[in-house]
Structure 1
Amino acid sequence: MDQIIVRGGGALHGEIPIAGAKNACLTLMPLTLLTDQPLTLTNAPRLSDIRTMTSLLQSLGSEVVSLQDGQVLAMSSHDLTSQKADYDIVRKMRASILVLGPLLARYGHAVVSLPGGCAIGARPVDLHLKSLEAMGAELDLRDGYVFAKAPAGGLRGAAHGFPIVSVGATENALMAAALAQGTTVLKNVAREPEIVDLAQCLRRMGARIEGEGTSTMTIEGVTQLNGATHPVVTDRIELGTYMLAPAICGGEVECLGGRIDLVATFCEKLDEAGVDVVETERGLKVSRKNGRIRAVDVVTEPFPGFPTDLQAQMMALMCTADGTSVLEERIVENRFMHAPELTRMGARIEVHGGHATVHGVEKLRGAPVMATDLRASVGLILAGLAAEGETIVGRVYHLDRGYEKVVRKLRGVGARIERIKEVTSDE
């Protein structure tokens, strides 16, 4: 099993290109199931989750071709052979549930396994299912699968309010509503950039959608959708992660393709902590202000609030801050599993339910640590950049799900980092 070795203590200088968003691309790929015409995605990230979604679509009969070293995905679903998403593929990644809405909308029936993914809480799919039931779908959960059937004549437009904001449920409902008969009004929807990107791609395909980026979306169903070419939006989580690298160990790094609007709340917290973020023609330039990082409190919230997917990385920064910070996790349960690993490096962290209190220390110490999920893995790498000595991060297969060429990108700005054992494309 691969490990990443980080030798900390040096400042970072240079530039890091930011990839297309994993979460956006995984949502855009199932759009091919809504049309018999070609759909092409550019600026696609090269990640294991993308390969998993590719395998899932191909198992249904879609054609998916990777071009330009994986940065272009050419897809066609003109002749699907199956409407069943099997457990063997779906178990690997939670985003697999996003094929349910498109299959049900286009074919009137679907069988989709309950999904897997990172072990960071239950994250049930009931919000997805209730929105489809509002459009008339009949659902039966048995043997670990969702058996879904649309009413005669297809899904029907409906008014539906989500009891809590859910990105995935919003995405599934939006895709299904694009081909539903009549008007669908979705309230209390997610406002993330990935939702806006999905709506923009659907509009390119001929969908009639209003309100993306707000809490209410209105969709006028159409009888069919066309093909399109669409660029995947910049990955705001990868962007925020690499912005933290010079913040935690000093130096100045320009994140190419970065945009303030994607990470505005995050940037406010960085400013409060003593980190400069300057917008340039090419992206965002980040450097630490004079002196030690200041402790700040963080509460994770739906967009435009502080992202839950940057909480582990922010905790790594707060471990060496001047003062005490409190991080409150409101989005995903059981998402402080990285805290015990950080304490192995000399951090002082107390976890009580959904709150973590971090008492900053002057220096972290390198140690063997174990990644527990995708974002925790890169949080431990960031901590290793600031630590004295050598940090060995195990279980880095999590990392491959969300960060392309992380070793190469960090090494390119001066980090002393390497991946050992199995040779992969990350080297």
Structure 2
Amino acid sequence: MDRLEIIGDVRLEGTVQVAGAKNAALPLLAAGLLSGQSLTLSNVPDVADVHTMAALLRGLGAEVREGPPGVLAISSGSLTNTEATYDIVRKMRASFLVLGPLVARLGEAHISLPGGCAIGTRPVDFHLAAIERLGARVDISGGVIHVDASRGLIGTRIVLPLPSVGATHTAMMAATGAAGETQIVNCARDPEVVDLAHCLNAMGAKIEGAGTHSILVQGGNSWRDARHEIIPDRIEAGTYLMAAAITGGRIEVTGGRLEHLAAVCQVLDEVGVTIFPSDRGLVASRDGPLRSVDLATEAFPGFPTDLQAQYMALMCVADGTAIIREGVFENRFMHVPELLRFGADIRHRGATAIVRGAKRLEGARVMATDLRASACLVLAGLAAKGRTTISRVYHLDRGYEDMERKLKRCGAQIERVSEP
């Protein structure tokens, strides 16, 4: 099991290239099951979750071929299986995204209830309700969800209780196999939803409205071979913007898009970080002190929950007191006990944390509990005086491509150590 060793209190300066978005790549890989034609994806991030999804597709009978770095080609002309087993699904909740394509393509699916990061209840009810609205029958027994759409899917109006990104992906992909028109209301507006719609249209689907609260999907597609480039990872970009901020440095984040990070950049500006666009992305720099600013996570275009932990690390060294409210996942404060090991002053109850900053962090031995908490601990280690050791960094590898190498290029003293 690997660990990271960091000598902190070093100003970072340099350029970081953002990889393709993990949260876009996973539904795009699942979409490769829809058509039976070839789908070639570029700018695919080299992260553990992508490898897990590729293994799942292969287990279903699809061919997933690796090309040059960052390129995967999916061919699913002869799917042989409609069951996503527990051994795969327990590793990653996003495995559930194969539900929509399997039902649309083959009329059935058998998927184990999902696992993944323990950051709070993330029910699959919305996914299943959308599938049922399209005419499928759903049964859950023995920890496995069985879906039968052998009578065919019929276009309808689907109203999501919340703008769930995953449920929007599932509804959109399933609706491509339904007869007639489907309207998805109160859908997520995230860039990853828009990216999936662009890819599906390139494959031959007919989808309008992605990026708004209402998406229209026309059934009766003429599928074709397609190529699609995955958008840059906005969460990775936001993490490196905060790395510049917490170390008082200057980092150009190549591939960062202001339109994907407007809420994040606005908050960082209030905190005292200068952010401006460059020809290649975004630049973040800080010369003066950090100011504490209250924050509440929200659905896009609000501040993303996937950057809440990293922001909390930033507030640990800011002047004043910040109140952070988690509005998406109720249990996304598992990084708090680990930040306390650095000497941070944080109190939390329920979905609210109070962070008293301006304290100097001291290096510590800490343990990653989930993907974004891992990044939070790296940021804290970069700012802390002395040595920090982060164990269980396999969480980090699920969503960040070669983070230690990118940070080292900006001057960080960080090493990965492999343990027997």
Alignment of 1:174-213 (within 5 A): 174-213=172-211
In structure 2, how many angstroms separate the alpha carbons of the residues matched to 1:380 and 1:88?
A: 29
- Give the aligned residue type for 2:302: G
Conserved in 2, the CA contact under 8 Å of 1:348 and 1:361?
no
1:275 maps to which residue? 273
User: 1:223 Cα deviation (Å)?
Assistant: 4.0
In structure 1, how many angstroms separate the alpha carbons of the residues matched to 2:85 and 2:225?
A: 26
1:346 maps to which residue? 343
1:85-133: per-residue Cα shift (whole Å, max 9, x none)? 1111111100000001110011111111111111111211000000000
Cα RMSD for the two superposed structures: 1.0
1:132 maps to which residue? 131
1:331 maps to which residue? 328
2:68 maps to which residue? 68
1:29-84: per-residue Cα shift (whole Å, max 9, x none)? 01111111100000000011000001000000000011213x00011000011111
2:395 maps to which residue? 398
In structure 1, how many angstroms separate the alpha carbons of the residues matched to 2:23 and 2:242?
A: 20
1:366 maps to which residue? 363
> Secondary structure of the residue that 2:179 maps to in structure 1?
coil
In structure 1, how many angstroms separate the alpha carbons of the residues matched to 2:216 and 2:36?
A: 24
- Kindly tell me: are residues 63 and 151 of structure 1, through their superposed partners in 2, closer, same or farther at Cα, counting changes over 3 Å? closer
1:58 maps to which residue? 58
Show structure 1 runs of 4+ deviating over 2 A: none
> Secondary structure of the residue that 2:178 maps to in structure 1?
coil
- Give the aligned residue type for 1:5: E
In structure 2, how many angstroms separate the alpha carbons of the residues matched to 1:265 and 1:223?
A: 36
Unaligned runs of 5+ in 2: none
Pair 1:6-2:6 in alignment: yes
Alignment of 1:173-252 (within 5 A): 173-252=171-250
Conserved in 2, the CA contact under 8 Å of 1:92 and 1:117?
yes
1:141 maps to which residue? 140
User: 1:222 Cα deviation (Å)?
Assistant: 1.8
2:35 maps to which residue? 35
In structure 1, how many angstroms separate the alpha carbons of the residues matched to 2:307 and 2:239?
A: 7
TM-score, normalising length: structure 1: 0.97
Match of 1:265 among 263, 266, 277: 263
1:48 maps to which residue? 48
1:287 maps to which residue? 285
Identity %: 55
> Secondary structure of the residue that 1:74 maps to in structure 2?
strand
In structure 2, how many angstroms separate the alpha carbons of the residues matched to 1:50 and 1:347?
A: 34
1:18 maps to which residue? 18
In structure 2, how many angstroms separate the alpha carbons of the residues matched to 1:372 and 1:361?
A: 25
In structure 1, how many angstroms separate the alpha carbons of the residues matched to 2:221 and 2:325?
A: 45
Unaligned runs of 5+ in 1: none
> Secondary structure of the residue that 2:33 maps to in structure 1?
helix
> Secondary structure of the residue that 1:33 maps to in structure 2?
coil
> Secondary structure of the residue that 1:272 maps to in structure 2?
helix
- Give the aligned residue type for 1:281: D
Conserved in 2, the CA contact under 8 Å of 1:30 and 1:57?
yes
TM-score, normalising length: structure 2: 0.99
- Give the aligned residue type for 1:411: K
Conserved in 2, the CA contact under 8 Å of 1:179 and 1:224?
no
1:157 maps to which residue? 155
1:307-330: per-residue Cα shift (whole Å, max 9, x none)? 000000000000000000011001
User: 1:7 Cα deviation (Å)?
Assistant: 0.6
Conserved in 1, the CA contact under 8 Å of 2:205 and 2:221?
no
Conserved in 1, the CA contact under 8 Å of 2:344 and 2:359?
no
> Secondary structure of the residue that 2:101 maps to in structure 1?
helix
User: 1:361 Cα deviation (Å)?
Assistant: 2.6
Alignment of 1:372-383 (within 5 A): 372-383=369-380
Conserved in 2, the CA contact under 8 Å of 1:136 and 1:151?
no
Match of 1:420 among 401, 417, 420: 417
In structure 2, how many angstroms separate the alpha carbons of the residues matched to 1:203 and 1:150?
A: 23
Conserved in 2, the CA contact under 8 Å of 1:322 and 1:361?
yes
1:182-211: per-residue Cα shift (whole Å, max 9, x none)? 010000000000000000001111111111
1:152-188: per-residue Cα shift (whole Å, max 9, x none)? 2x11101011111100000000001012100100000
2:108 maps to which residue? 109
